[in-house]
Chains A and B, each alone.
Chain A
Amino acid sequence: MSISRRVTLAWVAAAATLPYAASAQTAAPAPWSDATIAPLTAAGYGQDPNLQHPSVPWPLTLNSHQREALRIAADLMLPADSHSPSGGTLHLDAFIDEWISAPYPDQQRDRALILKGLDWLDAECRQRSGKDFAGSSDEQRRAVFDLIAWRKKIAPGYEQAAAFFARMRTLMMIGFYSLPEGSADIGYMGNTPNLGPYPGPTREALAHFNQAMTGLGLKPAG
């Protein structure tokens, strides 16, 4: 891992100002690492894996601290409500560990983003409260999320952290809604044999559709 002199200096500077940063609401964003993340060399599942008994052949690579941060982030990202449990409860940290530990190009790109992003979250939280992300309160964590989570309200200087957040969110969405609990939340009703001709939309679905088309000045389906 090579860390540029510029970033190292920035870290030193950030550490030096720590006691003050906690009270300074206008602190500069924590630095974004430009370190090179070493590529993983584990084997993939190959072009002819067993489809009846799938398995993940590569080892997981996140440490317990990173997993804890992701679990907390998943609870904030997708909190429990009357439709489904929270992201942390559904082990999205484990899914993201599996994802960024995979030896494929897309996943390796995500790996660099997520690893740096988790470091950044800790640094930003320390800068603000003296504690890392896991040690911060939900209120403090939300204050950091609010700088990077909303497309049109990304704080200046926080663009790289916002890109990390958006990718983490996408991965958590993929992980969450592909599970039975997430699938039930959005109301997926398929993947079950339906013998005979496909029945098509329900009467209720068709009525909703026809009203929508009429609203657009288009011909309803009849």
Chain B
Amino acid sequence: MKQDAAKAGGLTRDFDPDVVIVGSGAAGGMAAYVLTRAGIKCLILEAGRDYDPLAETAMFQTAAQAPLRGASTPDKHFGYFDATANGGWQVPGEPYTNAEGSTFKWWRSRMLGGRTNHWGRHVPRFGPYDFKAKSRDGLGMDWPISYEDIAPYYDRTEKLIGVAGANAGLENHPDSGPGVLLPPSKPRIPELAIKAGANALGIPCVPSRYAILTRDKPHPHAPRQACFNATPCGRGCSIGAAFQTTTSLLPMAMGTGRCRIITNAMVSRVLTNERGRASGVEYFDKTGTPRMVKARAVVLAASACESARLLLNSHAAGAKQGLANSSGQVGLGLMDTTGTNITGQIPALENRPRFNEDGMEVAHLYIPFWLYKEQAAGKLDFPRAYHYEIGGRFGAPGGNPAGGLEDGYGASLKEDARRYYGSFVSFTVRGEMIPNAESYCEIDPEAKDKFGIPVLRFHWKFSDHEYRQIGHGMKTARDIIHKLGGRVVTPELPPEKAIADGGWIIHEVGTTRMGASRSDSVTDSFGRTWDVDNLVVADGGVFTSNAHKNPTLTIMALAWRSMDRLAERMKKGEV
């Protein structure tokens, strides 16, 4: 997108924002969309550069056109053509640290639209159990809201962003309202195989839910086309089929005439007045010059850890450790999703007839958690749930089609490639982690970034809950592979070794959690900080627990709900 204000390097004189929003990703985009529609003027500050998906997305480029055939490198972790610009596990000049013994990885994306340009787009809903998990198993904390509070916002959000999927009517996997979902895509052969194997073991395998359009979505400012069943979604989508804020919420907000965006604006702290209320923010512009913006309210949507960092680096008069932190909870409660992968090779799928198996790029089926009754009856040795995102297809060349099973050389090697290509099935385990006292972030006492802003230091530890859950997920995936007469290709490791490092799944949430009481949480159920009346956290920081269901849909639904409340309060003159 092109913004006049961004090009001018600052605010135009004629624009006086009511609300300043920090971040332009899922939460910031939603905040701007909701508030501008309510007649409120918003200024978005984005730390990264401007980004134009229409001009920049590599759609049909092939691996052969990229350096190293598009392989993952430290510069482009998800491959050369991935949408992420100026981002990754490390961002030059913007370090973070790990406490001794901790390995937490923090993915950041310094670009307009943030991490919505590349994301999984898998959007299952949290269910009724997920908001009251402590009541079920005594662990962690219950949310201050229930499923019924957020259900209407799930419907609205799904309809707004466009979700292809189907209602499965399964326990704790809520259906969407009538007319909300777009039609799902027909399954591929390896997905049908996984379904056959899983069903034979009593495990469901149902249409997945992805934030990808299977029907056109007209809009005067953000027209989006239906998926044309080609090109990888992780590269971003120049036709707007795969949801990202740069082709949807941001142009929609800009279209109201009530939104401005400044890119290359790294917010360093929230400013407060003598009454302890937020008065605006300070940011560093692209030249490294500090600037201030005043507003009636401040919305933090910088990502869970970045927003916690902002609060911890802001100082209210008389407060000992950061802003909105009288509870001492800012930075605590850090959670990621548990994860591991299991791949199998299925002889029955060797040399199968070829056809175009690209589809929506993402998996058309998935395996939701199916053991709630057994868990409630005490038959499982782990709490909380997981799901499988499944895979397998005649994929776009770029890797080794024989998947490492090839042998020797010569004519038979070429036969191996033809034989094994498309015969693999994969299971990506995604599970719920229980928050624990040893997983949190805080300000590093010494390290600073290139702007001079103190950086985060992470502490991280999994518990046996997570290890046992991952162990169950690995075993069940192997069972399905064996049921299909296949062999497990992934080396068998103990769960402690197989589990992905903290942060690796890029579902980090919980560092400014919402709660029912100001003594043990940072915000109320509308993301409003208990201590600062006009400061609202809209990102995943507010998560009280982190159900295995990928967080972005819930981030957006909660942000919508919180912004509705903020708009209402602003109209009443309370803010």
Contact = CB atoms under 8 A, between A and B. Distances in A.
A187 B349 CA distance: 15
A89 to B, nearest CB: 13
A56 B67 contact: yes
A170 B69 CA distance: 13
Nearest to B351: A208
B490 interface: no
Contacts of B71: 106, 174
B57 A51 contact: yes
A103 B57 CA distance: 25
Contacts of A76: 409-410
Interface in B502-523: none
Contact of B193 (A55, A149, A192, A213): A213
Given A47-B76, A188-B396, A102 B67 contact: yes
Interface stretch (B3-11, B80-88, B144-152, B377-385): B80-88
A37 interface: no
B107 interface: no
A82 B91 CA distance: 48
Q: Which of A99, A170, A216 has most B Cβ within 10 Å?
A: A216
Given A78-B413, A187-B354, 16 more contacts: A47-B75, A48-B85, A51-B58, A54-B66, A83-B418, A106-B73, A174-B69, A174-B398, A186-B397, A189-B354, A189-B357, A194-B228, A197-B183, A200-B186, A201-B188, A201-B357
Contact of A185 (B230, B396, B417, B485): B417
A194 B358 contact: yes
Given A47-B85, A177-B417, A185-B414, A202 B353 contact: yes
B408 interface: yes
Contacts of A136: none
B138 to A, nearest CB: 40
Interface stretch (B196-204, B257-265, B268-276, B527-535): B196-204
Contacts of B199: 219
Interface string A180-214: 10110111111111111111111011101100110
B68 to A, nearest CB: 6
B401 A193 contact: no
A49 B75 contact: yes
B12 interface: no
A220 B195 CA distance: 10
B40 interface: no
A53 B224 CA distance: 25
A85 to B, nearest CB: 11
A57 B80 CA distance: 13
Contacts of B357: 189-190, 201
A103 B210 CA distance: 37
Contacts of A151: 407
A44 interface: yes
Best-buried of A98, A105, A194 by chain B (most CB within 10 Å): A194
Nearest to A86: B414
Given A76-B409, A102-B73, A194 B229 contact: yes
A107 interface: yes
A118 to B, nearest CB: 16
Output the residue of B87, B186, B348 with the most chain A CB within 10 A.
B348
B76 A49 contact: yes
B85 A219 contact: no
Contacts of A195: 226, 228-229
Nearest to A217: B200
9 contacts: A44-B75, A51-B56, A54-B61, A56-B67, A77-B409, A95-B69, A99-B68, A182-B417, A191-B62
Contact of A190 (B63, B227, B396): B396
B193 A209 contact: yes
A193 B189 contact: no
Interface string A154-183: 000000000000000110011101111011
A78 B188 CA distance: 30
Contacts of A173: 400-402, 406, 413, 417
A54 B228 contact: no
A218 interface: yes
A104 interface: yes
B189 A197 contact: no
B397 A193 contact: no
A102 B73 CA distance: 10
A60 to B, nearest CB: 12
B573 interface: no
Listed residue (B62, B86, B189, B399) with the most chain A CB atoms within 10 angstroms of its CB: B189
Contacts of A189: 354-357, 394
A55 B214 CA distance: 34
Contact of A81 (B355, B397, B414): B414
A140 interface: no
B410 A77 contact: yes
Given A54-B67, A174-B399, A218-B484, A191 B58 contact: no
A178 B398 CA distance: 5
Nearest to B111: A48
Contacts of A52: 55-56, 58
Interface in B202-247: 214, 226-231, 235
B168 to A, nearest CB: 18
Interface centre among A149, A194, A197 (most CB of B within 10 A): A197
Contact of A187 (B80, B85, B394): B394
B230 A192 contact: yes
Contacts of B468: none
Nearest to B84: A47
Contacts of B73: 44-45, 102, 104, 106-107
B418 A187 contact: yes
Contacts of B399: 174
B64 A178 contact: yes
B197 A218 contact: yes
A106 B68 CA distance: 11
A57 B67 CA distance: 9
A46 B189 contact: no
B352 A177 contact: no
A44 B227 CA distance: 33
A192 B356 contact: yes
B169 interface: no
A55 B67 contact: yes
A20 interface: no
Contacts of B421: 186-187
Nearest to B57: A51
A169 B74 contact: no
Contacts of A196: 226
B404 interface: yes
A136 to B, nearest CB: 15
B507 to A, nearest CB: 22
B92 interface: yes
B47 to A, nearest CB: 14
Contacts of B174: none
A208 B84 CA distance: 39
A209 B85 CA distance: 41
Nearest to B229: A194
Contacts of A48: 49, 85-86
